[in-house]
């Protein structure tokens, strides 16, 4: 079933049951208590005097089981007539419940039909919801495919790009070190902008261009560009 589909069922199905109960049940003064879980043999306790119904949607199957007369008529179940009108009311309530649950899951409506009791088992791809509606239990079993729309969308694979295009806009802080032979602490403390430092390295000797933890990325030579001294790159390091 998975966490995403189970979370969607816990969010949507109890709300649909509450709305249906307010519209179809003769007594709805108590808040329904609903528990969702992955189907398992322990949770699939039988419903007393329950009649199973099946709605076979194009996206998956939905089973419902309850003592429907007690569920609809509540404390008036023993007084309600056993006639065609009462039967039609119960049938309409059953269909409305199935339609509301399927709509909450984004599935098309499907007609209800009688079904055999189903036996749950571990590792099945079905969801179980057990609801207590004023002392009358309602059992719902839904195939995981009905909740497929709530699965996380797979990350879109990024197209492969040429290396130069992928990193062409990246910025990197680089440093050029001038190789002086020595410089005293006093001389370093007295340095000011514009001071000229004279080294004993010949200008034809190569300079290194470094980045990060002193990693040499290129070598070059001192050159002039306009009124600025620059490093003219001669070779890239491997």
Q: Is the separation of the CB atoms in 209 and 231 below 8 Å?
A: yes
What are the residue boundaries of the structural domains of the chain, listed by start? 3-150, 172-183+198-238
Task: Give the pLDDT score at 180.
Answer: 64
Q: What is the pLDDT of residue 41?
A: 46
Q: What is the DSSP letter of 97?
A: H
Is this model's pTM higher than 0.75 or not? no
Please list the pLDDT of the chain residue by residue as tens digits (238 residues): 788 888 999 999 999 999 999 999 887 777 888 988 887 645 555 555 579 999 999 999 999 999 999 899 988 888 888 899 999 999 999 999 999 999 999 999 999 999 988 776 666 788 889 999 888 899 999 999 999 888 887 766 777 878 777 777 777 777 777 666 677 788 778 888 888 777 777 777 788 888 877 788 888 888 888 888 787 888 776 5
User: How long is the chain?
Assistant: 238
Number of H helices, E strands in the chain: 5, 10
**Radius of gyration of the chain, Cα coordinates, nearest whole angstrom:** 38
E-only strand ranges, the chain: 33-38, 51-57, 60-66, 112-114, 126-133, 136-143, 174-176, 207-211, 215-225, 228-236
CATH of range 3-150; options 3.90.226.10, 3.50.50.60, 3.40.1550.10, 3.40.50.1370? 3.40.1550.10
Query: What φ, ψ does residue 3 adopt, rounded to 5°?
Result: -70, -35
- 150-to-10, 20, 39, 106, 153 alpha-carbon distances in Å: 12, 23, 18, 10, 9
């Amino acid at each position: 079933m998975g966490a995403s589909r189970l979370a969607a069922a816990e969010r949507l199905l109890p709300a649909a049951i509450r709305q249906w109960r307010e519209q179809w049940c003769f007594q709805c003064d108590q808040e329904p208590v609903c528990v969702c879980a992955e189907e398992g043999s322990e949770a699939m306790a039988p419903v007393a005097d329950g009649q199973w119904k099946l709605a076979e949607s194009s996206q998956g199957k939905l089973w419902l089981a309850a003592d429907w007369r007690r569920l609809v008529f509540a404390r008036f179940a023993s007084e309600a007539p056993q006639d065609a009108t009462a039967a039609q009311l119960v049938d309409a309530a059953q269909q409305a419940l199935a339609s509301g649950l399927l709509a909450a899951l984004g599935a098309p409506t499907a007609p209800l039909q009688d079904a055999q009791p189903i036996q749950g088992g571990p590792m099945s791809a079905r969801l179980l919801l057990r609801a207590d509606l004023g002392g009358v239990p309602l059992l719902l079993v839904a195939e995981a495919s009905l909740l497929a729309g709530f699965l996380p969308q797979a990350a879109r694979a990024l197209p492969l790009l040429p290396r130069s295009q992928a990193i062409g806009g990246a910025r990197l802080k680089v440093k050029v070190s001038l190789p002086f032979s020595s410089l005293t602490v006093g001389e370093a403390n007295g340095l000011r902008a514009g001071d000229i430092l004279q080294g004993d390295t010949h200008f034809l000797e190569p300079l290194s261009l470094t980045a990060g933890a002193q990693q040499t990325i290129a070598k070059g030579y001192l050159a002039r560009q306009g009124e600025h001294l620059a490093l003219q790159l001669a070779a890239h390091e491997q």
